[in-house]
Amino acid sequence: MNDALRTEVQVEPALADAGPPAFAEKLVAASQAAAAEAGFAGPGDMTLVIADDAHVQELNRTYRGVDATTDVLAFGAEGECEATEPTDVQFVLPAEAEPAYLGDVVISLPQAQRQAAERGHPLEAELCVLVVHGTLHLLGYAHAGAEERQVMWETQRRALRRLGCEAAAPVDVE
């Protein structure tokens, strides 16, 4: 995989017994696969947070103005949330000699569980889809327009193929 991207996995204490730590190695591999397919040479760091619906809903409401849970949010170190307008939140960037901090990806475990059940694949595969998707957002990918979606979805599909999770890749480009 791509060791140019280091990923720290954090699980909210309330979810610690839900199982994601068993998937931590696979989730790190998912972020690295996304970075490799995106051509990220690094070095860089990111954080992956496994959260509950309430926390993700609060973040979604605060930073995107959407009062609902969602599956994944990406907060770039430049103070942006996914493909939204920049926020007033400013992050201290590392000195040039240090790895760049790309940002945080926050995933709702309950939403991932629902989506895995609806889509008929294992939770681990759904989590890989969400990690790859969020990591690509941190690396500058977007899917607001048809061309952007096509590029992002193809990159996502290649990363998921590396992980053996291609069957879980979104079929429709929204």
**What digits encode the pLDDT tens for the residues 135-149?**
999 999 998 889 988
Residue 134, pLDDT > 60, answer yes
Confidence category of residue 173, pLDDT binned at 50, 70, 90: very low
Residue 85 has pLDDT above 60, yes or no: no
- The pLDDT value recorded for residue 132 is 96
Mean pLDDT of 15-24: 67
Q: Across the beta sheet with 44-51, what order do the strands follow? A: 5-11, 44-51, 100-108, 72-76, 80-81
3-state secondary structure of 88: coil
According to the model, what pLDDT value does residue 75 have? 92
CA separation for the pair 98, 71 (Å, rounded): 31
Q: What per-residue confidence (pLDDT) applies to 78? A: 72
- Point out which residues pair with 46 in neighbouring strands: 7, 103
Q: Residue 81 — pLDDT band, cuts 50, 70, 90?
A: low
| This prediction's pTM | 0.84
How does the average pLDDT of the chain come out, rounded? 84
Q: Which domains does the chain have, with CATH numbers?
A: 5-167 (3.40.390.30)
Chain segment 90-117, per-residue pLDDT in tens: 445 445 557 789 999 999 999 999 999 9
Q: What is the pLDDT of residue 83?
A: 37
Calculate what percentage of the chain has a pLDDT beyond 70: 81
Q: How far apart are CA 173 and CA 121, in angstroms?
A: 19
pLDDT of 144 = 87
Average pLDDT over residues 77-81: 65
Q: What pLDDT does residue 11 have? A: 87
